[in-house]
Structure 1
Amino acid sequence: MTAAFRPSPLASDQTAREAALGVVALAATLLFANGQTTERTVVAAERLGRALGVPARVLPDWDKLTVELEGTSLSRIVATKPLGIDMNKVLAVTAVVDRLCDGTLRAEEARSALLLAGNLPPISTLQFTSFAAFGAVSLGVIFGVLDSSSLILIGTSAALGALVRRWLSVFSNNPFIQPLCAALIASITTTISAIGLHQPIANALVAFCPCMVLVPGPHLLNGAIDLVRTRIALGIARLTYACMIVLMICVGLLLGFIADSSTLQAAGPIAPVPLLADVVAAGCAVASFGNLFSMPWRMLPFPIAAGMLGHAAHWALISLASANVATGALVACILVSIIVTPVVDRFHLPFAALGFSAVVSMIPGFFLFEAASALVELVSLGPRAPIALLSNIAANGATAFLVILAMSFGLILPRILLEDRS
């Protein structure tokens, strides 16, 4: 039941209403730009508007937010794009909104408090680099790389890519240059080190695992959630943005091999990883991505526990029940979503970032990059391409698509059902 609107002293005149509108627009912009789901952004902004005594309505779009006061001609359009993922900022902004709604923060202090929350610094370059390397190495273990030389190369490649991404962020705001260059570094590292590697699986994963750190999982999930919520235009825009990043990763990954006139060796079947190593590595990967998304340390145990439990279920289904990877991902993501949703609601965290952190090790980047590599080889060979190459593209592409679909469905369905009942 919607609470009745009661004007506050702040909304007693035109100037005050415009000030309140600006506060609501600022809060909505900070949440939207830093990875909060669209639904939670709208709910938080409209709740803040009621607390300030103005019935605000938020209309999100890909490149702007429109905030208008119902029953009046007052509105404000803020140019913004949902490109960032920063859970620390989302948590800080939500805390300010809660304090305003609870009456523990004066309305006159709202704007400065929101600006302070929105200007929180990102994690340090050292932390960003270290956890990028740690996450890539953890994914390497999950995908079957257990020799130390390959793991060191994976970590080094991911660390170099992270340093370059931070350096590029100083000079350019283009969101596609960073993943392109980081993926290019991964391919060059693999090419340089290929002479010393004699295991095709390790050789492929030295290139793939650093690129897995770049996959825009939260944007994929937010886009899928928007589609389910019938925000069709925004959902398509989010998914297009995520697909463009994936395309840049594939281009960067393959450019290094093309420049060196070499091809990426097919990885073949991945050797099964022992359950303990698989689950521990999954927990490490969750911790790494949580840090990359600026998640507060005190919150990390929740997604780590959910990710380890989900990955244990994933391992059991594939290794013991002989299920395919899409079925294993579906069941594991449903389990993770059921665990994570109450935590997200309790602490007002971005579901997409938290959920993706917990299931990042199941993202089918391996199959996607294999399909992309085979596609480039197909273009280079032309009519001389063997039928087996076409089968490889179809099989890996279809597997990647089905796993992504299963993961999105598994994460979103419990979230929507539990959220609608709350």
Structure 2
Amino acid sequence: MTSIFRSSLDEFEPLAREAALDIVALTAALLFAHGQTTERTVVTAERLGLALGMPASVLPDWDKLTVEIEGASLSQIVPAKPLGMDMNRVLAITAIVDRLCAGTLRAEEARPALLMAGSLPPVSTLHFTLFAAIGAASLGVIFGALDITSLTLIAASAALGALARRWLSTFSRNPFVQPLCAALIAGVLAAVSAISLHRPIPTALVAFCPCMVLVPGPHLLNGAIDLLRTRIALGIARLTYAGLVVLMICFGLLLGFTAGGAALPAAGPSVPVPLLADVIAAGWAVASFGTFFSMPWRMLPLPIAAGMLAHAARWALISLAGANVATGALVACILVSIVVAPVVDRLHLPFAALGFSAVVSMMPGFFLFEAASAVVELVSLGPHAPVTLLTSIAANGATAFLVILAMTFGLILPRMLLEHFLTPTV
């Protein structure tokens, strides 16, 4: 490994040490903020520090990173919150680190290059809106909405929500405003459609599917990974953030139904979906979420193939073997992790974003929204609420928890085992 600076800390000029520290801190902050897992952020920053002749350690927190130079009383605290998910930026930043470590990029050129990589434009509004509609409609197919009217309403609702999110992002950086408003739009459109259309439609699906594209799955996975790596405070902070986003989605959806003059209906039993339709829709859903996370087109085939394989296995387990949804999600996520985990480090992609893209349609959004709807109904009925309502809240809440736990365990276990027994490619 080529060292940009001299290897002895005592021989370093103060300016050289500060420059090296600044490069390492900026790299770690950008990776952390754009969705790289905490462990890969720390490993990459430490690798860069060694290449610069400055052994560094990174201490992550929810809103900041502390980067210290070992053997010297020199450290830097950089503000960074892990709110983003942009795989294209992570790839560009990692490529710059590789060039620095190989000695093909001069140290004085690193900071401008890193800043440029960290400000690469996100996917265009047209693509974002189009794939939001495709992703929501694909989820509609998976959950049993097979008629053209319902799928059109789902796609239109998701597209309007995507446009609203992009518009809101131009003047508000609050991470909760966008999902709240997008879910509000979904609730209003579903309520108005249920009242005005003179044909039966699966109102719950029309409402829930556009909201499913808002679920912060990568944050749930990153939080679980941090907890397993004993980064307790950071893991709890990530999970709390994800939980608040889900709460805003539920609140916006219920508020939209209220504004539309309707009550949020129960989803009811799901309609059986043919295997081919389920697998094809899963592939489109994976492509949509890969686009949301700015995954380069050339890399989409991997998660698409993994997601379609996982859905085929899940469909077989539930439809043929009679397994429950949690067991189906567990086996499917293990398959995805086995396929994805060996290559994410080689491709320098965030594991949580790639893994979640492949299994997004298995997230128990329906159960979460059903539980939220039942809670609201419980509050409105008060002491007159039937016992079945409490049973519904408990059953839907427990099912959602078990499915999320099964998905998290299924995705993380193979990844952790491979990292333990194999030396990762950095």
Map of 2:72 onto structure 1? 72
Q: Does 1:412 align with 2:412?
A: yes
Q: Cα distance, 1:199 vs. partner?
A: 3.9
| Counterpart code for 1:227 | L
Map of 2:251 onto structure 1? 251
Give the fraction of aligned pairs with identical amino acids, expressed as a percent.
77
Cα shift readout 1:287-315 (whole Å, capped 9, x = no counterpart): 00000000000000000000000010000
Q: Which moved more, 1:250-259 or 1:408-417?
A: 250-259
| Counterpart code for 2:148 | S
Q: Does 1:94 align with 2:94?
A: yes
Cα shift readout 1:229-278 (whole Å, capped 9, x = no counterpart): 00000000000000000000000000122234421221211111000000
| Counterpart code for 2:217 | G
Cα shift readout 1:182-207 (whole Å, capped 9, x = no counterpart): 0000000001100316446x210100
Q: Cα distance, 1:99 vs. partner?
A: 1.1
Q: Cα distance, 1:12 vs. partner?
A: 2.1
Q: Decide whether aligned partners of structure 1 residues 401 and 333 sit closer, same or farther in structure 2, where only a CA change above 3 A counts.
A: same
Map of 2:294 onto structure 1? 294
Gaps of 5+ in 1: none
Whole-angstrom distance in 1 between the partners of 2:276 and 2:198: 26
Q: Determine helix, strand or coil for the equivalent of 1:318.
A: helix
Q: Judge conservation of contact 1:302–1:343 (CA < 8 Å) in 2.
A: no
Whole-angstrom distance in 2 between the partners of 1:381 and 1:246: 24
| Counterpart code for 2:269 | P
Map of 1:46 onto structure 2? 46
Map of 1:351 onto structure 2? 351
| Counterpart code for 2:334 | I
Whole-angstrom distance in 2 between the partners of 1:267 and 1:250: 14
Q: Determine helix, strand or coil for the equivalent of 2:58.
A: strand
Q: Judge conservation of contact 1:10–1:17 (CA < 8 Å) in 2.
A: no
Q: Which moved more, 1:383-392 or 1:320-329?
A: 383-392
Whole-angstrom distance in 2 between the partners of 1:199 and 1:394: 29
Q: Aligned residue pairs: how many?
A: 418
Q: Judge conservation of contact 2:187–2:260 (CA < 8 Å) in 1.
A: no
> Aligned runs of 1:93-242 on 2, under 5 Å?
93-195=93-195, 196=197, 198-199=199-200, 202-242=202-242
Whole-angstrom distance in 1 between the partners of 2:79 and 2:9: 29
| Counterpart code for 1:252 | G
Please tell me the root mean square deviation across aligned C-alpha atoms, in Å.
1.5
| Counterpart code for 2:72 | T
Q: Judge conservation of contact 1:62–1:237 (CA < 8 Å) in 2.
A: yes
Map of 1:262 onto structure 2? 262
Map of 1:397 onto structure 2? 397
Gaps of 5+ in 2: none
Q: Judge conservation of contact 2:9–2:54 (CA < 8 Å) in 1.
A: no
Q: Determine helix, strand or coil for the equivalent of 1:295.
A: coil
Give the TM-score normalised by the residue count of structure 1. Answer: 0.97
Whole-angstrom distance in 2 between the partners of 1:164 and 1:72: 49
Q: Decide whether aligned partners of structure 1 residues 397 and 322 sit closer, same or farther in structure 2, where only a CA change above 3 A counts.
A: same
Q: Determine helix, strand or coil for the equivalent of 2:170.
A: helix
Whole-angstrom distance in 1 between the partners of 2:109 and 2:9: 15
Whole-angstrom distance in 2 between the partners of 1:15 and 1:320: 67
Cα shift readout 1:366-394 (whole Å, capped 9, x = no counterpart): 11101111110110000011111111111
Whole-angstrom distance in 1 between the partners of 2:240 and 2:11: 40
Q: Cα distance, 1:143 vs. partner?
A: 0.3
Whole-angstrom distance in 2 between the partners of 1:6 and 1:106: 14
Q: Does 1:367 align with 2:372?
A: no
Whole-angstrom distance in 2 between the partners of 1:121 and 1:328: 37
Map of 1:379 onto structure 2? 379
Q: Which runs of 4+ in 1 moved over 6 A?
A: 8-11
Q: Judge conservation of contact 2:223–2:235 (CA < 8 Å) in 1.
A: yes
Whole-angstrom distance in 2 between the partners of 1:106 and 1:280: 47
Whole-angstrom distance in 2 between the partners of 1:389 and 1:115: 53
Q: Cα distance, 1:109 vs. partner?
A: 1.4
Q: Judge conservation of contact 1:10–1:16 (CA < 8 Å) in 2.
A: no
Whole-angstrom distance in 1 between the partners of 2:198 and 2:410: 37
Map of 1:33 onto structure 2? 33
Q: Cα distance, 1:110 vs. partner?
A: 1.2
Q: Judge conservation of contact 2:9–2:71 (CA < 8 Å) in 1.
A: no
Q: Decide whether aligned partners of structure 1 residues 225 and 197 sit closer, same or farther in structure 2, where only a CA change above 3 A counts.
A: farther
Q: Decide whether aligned partners of structure 1 residues 198 and 269 sit closer, same or farther in structure 2, where only a CA change above 3 A counts.
A: farther
Map of 2:329 onto structure 1? 329
Q: Cα distance, 1:111 vs. partner?
A: 1.1
Q: Determine helix, strand or coil for the equivalent of 1:282.
A: helix
Whole-angstrom distance in 2 between the partners of 1:120 and 1:315: 39
Whole-angstrom distance in 1 between the partners of 2:200 and 2:360: 25
Whole-angstrom distance in 2 between the partners of 1:142 and 1:290: 18
Q: Judge conservation of contact 1:286–1:358 (CA < 8 Å) in 2.
A: yes
Whole-angstrom distance in 2 between the partners of 1:98 and 1:30: 15
| Counterpart code for 1:185 | I
